[in-house]
Chains A and B, each alone.
Chain A
Amino acid sequence: MQNSIEANARSTVPKASGSLLNFMKKHYFLYLMLAPALILTLIFKYGPMYGAIIAFKDFSPIKGIMGSEWVGFYNFEKFLSSPNFEVIFMNTLKLSFFGLVLSFPVPILLALMLNQVRRSAIKKNIQLFLYAPNFISVVVVVGMLFIFLSPTGPINQIFTWATGEPMMFMSRPEYFRWIYILSDIWTSAGWASIIYVAALANVDPELHNAANLDGANLLQRIRHIDLPTIRPIMAIVFILAAGGIMSIGFEKAYLMQTATNLPTSEIIPTYVYKIGLQSGDYAYSAAVGLFNSLINVVLLITVNFIVKKLNEGDGLY
């Protein structure tokens, strides 16, 4: 007992130099703590990165990753020259670009509006409601879309009453993006307003009082006090979203797909899933996925460069 205490006491005294192994022996506990995360990351994050080389091979599961033959960029060329490429690529880009443009301002507006609610009890209750859809699963959200927008659903009861016939919302390709984006705003705009609300709550009320005394009206105060306060956050949120524009999720689009809306609803992630896991064309699917990842990385590096410029050297990483 006495010995171990002494050993511990000594271990805290920094040594001028020592081999790494010696050091690790002394602080093995820290490395032990790090080990689970490290091992899981190496297996489940770096493992697939190694596995992604099948994109450059004529992969057959029987021969394995090493045994399969190299084919260079064949799979990439196959994708880029396929008739599907342009449609799927543009679908992905359009869905996330329009999504970004339409969704971005909503949380800001909500936060500015919430900030004007003086009674904190009322404000809290409004927030409670606005945040709630964020906790509804994507399956339920899309399920509700199918129910509400079905030819006999509540929305179409109004349409039928007004125009005489129902609108085929979920099966017509021209509505897919609107439904996707608007329901996204419904789910997440409230939740996304949190950081803006918090930033606005930190504005010194004296600023508003002083501006009020000087004769500034409400809109002027919002424009010249509130907006500048949240502008840095707006910039970062926007740039992060712009950087992730090609990393749009699979889950919702896949659920919303119907046989007839595919001309707009087929995006790269759903395509990767279908050709890879449903048709078993592993190598080709991996190549398409890798292509998407590469675009993402390029976008992120560009975006980080811009953030660094804006924040005077403080990048995201």
Chain B
Amino acid sequence: MFIKHSRLDRFILALNATFLTLAVLVVVLPLVYVVIASFMDPSVLLSHGLSFKISDWSLEGYKMILTNPAMIRGFGNAVFYSVAFALLTVLVSICAGYALSDDRLKGKGFFMTLFIITMFFGGGLVPTYLLVKNLGLLDTVWAVIIPGAVNVWNIILSRTFFKGVPNELREAANVDGASEMRIFLGIVLPLSKPIIFVLALYAFVGQWNSYFDAMIYLDNPNLHPLQLVLRSILIQNQVDPGMISDQLAMAEMKRLSEIIKYAAIVVSSLPLIIMYPFFQKYFEKGVMLGSLK
């Protein structure tokens, strides 16, 4: 049985389709512009803007970006930070979530309160910075990876997930004489792939896209992640001296700085853009799990 649409309805549906198309265009056009601009010949881009003639295209921007040591180092650092951060976050939250989902854990309410308070109240920027400094973590990779690894939200998500795992499974294994650790590693963990995946994805993307912790904790440019390198290129307009050799004049620098920005945006966003369509449903799952509180 189908809904019969009146003329008014059909008009509204047409309007709806128009607005949705507009919304998609608003989202997509700036991105398409950046991608096309990144392949342009820098001089043509400066003088005429975008062009669709093949002869006006070049890979100069990508050559500059992909041979720039700061960019390469930043990319490598970002991969390392993101993977390490995701691993640590997943490990910590899965373990805590599992323990807190078990009714036999005494003091569960107390522990939950302890965690939840930190969602609403924190010491603030300066005391956190001083702590990291006093622990001797300043200018080490740990400053970026460890302090943010406990995330109450992730603990609650995994606790909710483990509560959904039938208790009979644990009990049956217990009667069979399996140790607690064997039950967790052998029975519960293999069932938890979806939650592990969702948490890891969010942690990876979050770390990949963040610059703040690295900015305040890391002075050493060799440790800087991609987003900090991007910040100096895109926002502070500081093209790394190594990127354009000293002999080249300021004019050359000016000519290339635009194209370098476009290429840098594309290169830095590439991993996530490639990942995203495949993992879209897992990202959505994260939102849905979160809304169940």
Residues of chain A whose beta carbon lies under 8 Å from any beta carbon of chain B: 4-5, 8-9, 12, 20, 23-24, 27, 29-31, 33-34, 36-38, 40-41, 43-52, 54, 61, 110, 113-114, 116-117, 126-133, 135-140, 142-144, 146-148, 154, 157, 186, 190-191, 194-195, 198, 208-209, 212, 217-219, 233, 250-251, 255, 269, 272-273, 276-277, 282, 285-286, 289-290, 292-293, 296-297, 300, 316-317
| Most chain B C-beta atoms within 10 Å of own C-beta, residue among A27, A41, A157, A219 | A41
A195 and B283 CA atoms in complex are apart in Å by 12
Residues of B within 8 A of A126 (CB): 20, 24
- How far is it, in angstroms, between the C-alpha of A24 and the C-alpha of B104 when the chains are bound? 10
Asked, given contacts A37-B150, A38-B96, whether A277 binds B129 with beta carbons under 8 Å apart, the answer is yes
Which among B54-62, B64-72, B206-214, B239-247 touches the partner chain?
Answer: B206-214
Cβ-defined partner of B99 (8 Å) among A31, A114, A140, A198: A31
| Cα distance A222–B44 in the bound complex, in angstroms | 50
A140 touches B122 (CB 8 A): no
Asked whether B150 lies within 8 Å of A194 as measured between CB atoms, the reply is no
Q: How far is the CB of A148 from chain B (nearest CB, A)?
A: 7
Closest to A41 in B: B150
The answer to whether A130 touches B128 (Cβ under 8 A) is no
Chain B: interface residue total (CB-CB under 8 A): 97
Q: Is B186 an interface residue (CB 8 A)?
A: no
User: Taking beta carbons and an 8 Å cutoff, which residues of B are in contact with A?
Assistant: 1, 3-6, 8-9, 12-13, 16-17, 19-20, 23-24, 26-28, 30-31, 33-34, 49, 91-93, 95-96, 98-100, 102, 104-106, 111, 114-116, 118, 120-131, 135, 146-147, 149-150, 155, 171, 174-175, 177-181, 184, 205, 208-212, 216, 227, 230-231, 233-235, 258, 261-262, 265, 268-269, 272-273, 276-277, 280, 283-284, 287-288, 291, 293
Residues of the A chain whose Cβ atoms lie less than 8 Å from the Cβ of B287? 191, 194-195
Contact B234 A140 (CB under 8 A): yes
Please, which residues of chain A bring their CB within 8 A of the CB of B258? 147
Pick from A12, A50, A117, A144: contact of B123, CB under 8 Å? A50
Do A154 and B3 touch (CB < 8 A)? no
Interface contact B96-A218, CB-CB below 8 Å? no
Could you tell me the dominant secondary structure of chain A's interface residues?
helix
Ordered by A's residue number, 10 sampled pairs between the chains whose C-beta atoms are within 8 Å are A9-B174, A27-B105, A40-B92, A50-B127, A110-B23, A130-B27, A137-B268, A250-B125, A255-B235, A289-B127
Separation of A140 and B227 alpha carbons in the complex (Å): 8
A69 to chain B, nearest CB (A): 17
Task: Across the interface, name the chain A residue whose C-beta is closest to B28.
Answer: A129
Return the contact of A186 from the options B1, B26, B216, B288 (Cβ within 8 A): B26
Task: With CB as the reference atom, state the residue of chain A lying closest to B228.
Answer: A139
Q: Give the dominant DSSP class at B's interface.
A: helix
Smallest distance from the beta carbon of A287 to chain B beta carbons, Å?
9
Q: Which residues of B contact A113 (CB under 8 A)?
A: 16, 19-20, 23
Are B49 and A139 in contact (CB-based, < 8 A)?
Answer: no
What residues of B have a CB within 8 angstroms of the CB of A133 in the complex?
Answer: 27, 31
B106:A33 contact, CB within 8 angstroms: no
7 A-B pairs with least C-beta separation = A48-B123, A143-B234, A51-B127, A289-B124, A37-B96, A137-B209, A5-B177
- A48 pairs with B127, CB closer than 8 A: yes
With contact pairs A154-B49, A317-B116 given, residues A20 and B106 touching in the complex (Cβ less than 8 Å): yes
Complex formed: what's the CA distance from A208 to B4 in Å?
Answer: 11
A20 to chain B, nearest CB (A): 6
**Across the interface, which residues of A come within 8 angstroms of B280, CB to CB?**
127-128, 131
A198 B288 Cβ-Cβ under 8 A? yes
Closest Cβ of chain B to A106, distance in Å, is 9
A132 touches B31 (CB 8 A): yes
Give A115's nearest chain B residue, CB to CB.
Answer: B16
Are A218 and B104 in contact, CB atoms less than 8 angstroms apart?
A: no
Contact in complex: B155, A286 (CB < 8 Å): no
Residues on B with beta carbons closer than 8 Å to the beta carbon of A142: 234-235
Is B105 within 8 A of A34, CB to CB? yes
B111, B258, B265 — which one has the most chain A CB atoms within 10 A of its CB?
Answer: B265
CB-based contact B27/A129 at 8 Å: yes
